Amino acid sequence: MSDLRAAIIGYGLAGAAFHGPLLAAADGVTVTTVVTSDPERQAAARREHPGVRLLDHADDLWAHADDLDLVVVAAPNRAHAPLARRAIELGLAVVVDKPLAVTAAEARELVAFARERDVLLTVFHNRRWDSDQVTLRRVLAEGSLGEVLRVESRMERWHRELRAGAWRESAAPEDGGGVLLDLGSHLVDQALTLFGPVRELVAEVATRRAGSATDDDVFLAVHHTSGVTSHIWVSLVCPAPGPRLRVLGRDAAFVLPVGDTQEDALRAGRRPGDGLGPWGEEPQAHWGELVAAEQRVPVAADPGAWIAFYPAVVAALRDGTPPPVDPADAVATLELLEAARTSAAERRVVRLDG
């Protein structure tokens, strides 16, 4: 059986460092087309995907729809929904880098449109397969924490000044910028996946750096209908990051100091299957601990598995299995992020239907 033929729209960080390598590592799919007008990125695409067809603009791609099976949208956030909609119109399966859209309404419309056309649509919420999340799911299943009361989840970084070329740090929220929509999408998706729908939340959304048009420092207190409370921090202005996870149960806590390193590895040029060791493994220094007062027991880290995403996409297209991420989940994440903005702007608790 011949490989599925994939096109990547956008070859910046997401397209070149994440989607491209993960597609190349997956059986049953080949990157045949990359859309980017940047000469340096075009050269990088040729190195990573020999024989690839290069196009300058997304509008040029649609004339080649008959030569494609899958479109990966890795363009800036504001272009996600329009590009995905065009691909769906042409009957092409779509992977959209998170977030699915800039607004929940736009995302809902896109999901409904894909269902009407019976075209596969999924979202790259890749951090469901972070080592910390895979390990936490195991810890929760083993029951060693007892009843879970509160989860503290952080992605805190230190960029004191605005970084040149980092469009997410300069674009206004309505144009897809801001740390809430960027890193916040990951942590909210993780919280919803692990602990279910939300009853109410309260949020602080701030802009700390001079000259910035968007948020860079966020805190959410999220109350799930399951009874768990998620405290979520995302920040670009934190000189002293807290632990990646602190999960408090009635019997014990799970504390993990450092998050998954798959992003760092891909940025540094590592590739799955490069012979430099098993993919997604974390060093012992990154392991978490089960803590109960003075008792501390190391918890070995399960490997991260971003490499599981595209084989699941191939299986969904070949065998009709569920996609790796239900796009309705991405809508729920955007709804919660919008509720957080409302809470911060109006300084109040926002109640949801969860």
Task: Name all domains of the chain by residue range, CATH numbers in brackets.
Answer: 4-124 (3.40.50.720), 127-304+335-351 (3.30.360.10)
pLDDT in tens, 153-178: 999 999 988 877 777 887 888 888 89
For residues 121 and 114, the answer to whether their CB atoms sit within 8 Å is yes
pLDDT at 353: 77
Whose tokens are 């999220």? That residue is: 222
User: Average pLDDT of 122-127?
Assistant: 98
Residue 80 has pLDDT above 80, yes or no: yes
Residue 354 has pLDDT above 70, yes or no: no
Residue 237's closest CA among 210, 259, 208?
A: 208
User: Average pLDDT of 46-61?
Assistant: 97
Residue 223 CA to residue 154 CA, distance in Å, equals 17
pLDDT in tens, 226-267: 999 999 999 999 999 999 999 999 999 999 999 999 999 999
Residue 90 has pLDDT above 60, yes or no: yes
Residue 316 CA to residue 319 CA, distance in Å, equals 6
pLDDT at 176: 87
For residues 53 and 33, the answer to whether their CB atoms sit within 8 Å is yes
pLDDT at 205: 97
Residue 252 CA to residue 140 CA, distance in Å, equals 11
Q: What is the mean pLDDT of the chain?
A: 96
Residue 214 CA to residue 172 CA, distance in Å, equals 5
